Amino acid sequence: MARDRRRVTEATLLAATLSGLPSTLHAVIKQRSLRSAAVDAYDTTCAVGTLVPPGRPGFGRGAAAHLAISMLCGETLARTLPRDHSAAWGAAAGLLIGVINVGVIGRSFPAISRLPLVPQLADNVMFGTVFAVALDRRDRQHGSHGVMAHA
């Protein structure tokens, strides 16, 4: 059964918003400064901007690229994640996405390859997990016909 587009988009946007928490927390712990962690998050977003031609870092390009990548990943997860044990499958899928996006593709972009790998992979695991849990919750709240399910 196909999943409702609106619920997929909502789950994707939530996951994209929260997915940077692991690397941000890592930066806070490592640098012991919220300001430094905020700068780190900004720099990471700018690094993602190098994926967009002409390949220069930029916050706007990075945010747009992150959103586009997140939408593509969310759509892929919505079509492939099993409905049973969705959080575990989402975490595993997020790790796979991270290995491909950060570990393989990102390694050919110097600004991305300079980012610490494990926190970036953790961000992707967070994306997959949040996406799966949010979509599962929305699926449980709504019947297969988009009507609120009754308890």
Task: Indicate the pLDDT class of residue 145, thresholds 50, 70 and 90.
Answer: very low
Percent of the chain at pLDDT exceeding 90: 77
User: For 74-126, what is each residue's pLDDT tens digit?
Assistant: 999 999 999 888 999 999 999 999 999 999 999 999 999 999 999 999 999 99
Mean pLDDT of the chain: 90
Task: Indicate the pLDDT class of residue 142, thresholds 50, 70 and 90.
Answer: low
CA atoms of 144 and 30, how far apart (whole Å): 45
Residue 23 has pLDDT above 50, yes or no: yes
Task: Indicate the pLDDT class of residue 139, thresholds 50, 70 and 90.
Answer: low
Percent of the chain at pLDDT exceeding 70: 90
DSSP 33-90: -HHHHHHHHHHHHHHHGGGSTT----HHHHHHHHHHHHHHHHHHHHHH--STTHHHHH
Tell me, what's the pLDDT at 146?
Answer: 43
Q: What is the mean pLDDT of residues 128-137?
A: 94
130 contacts 97 by C-beta, under 8 angstroms:
no
Contacts of 98 (CB under 8 A, 6+ apart): 120, 121, 123, 124, 125
| Domain residue ranges in the chain | 5-18+63-141
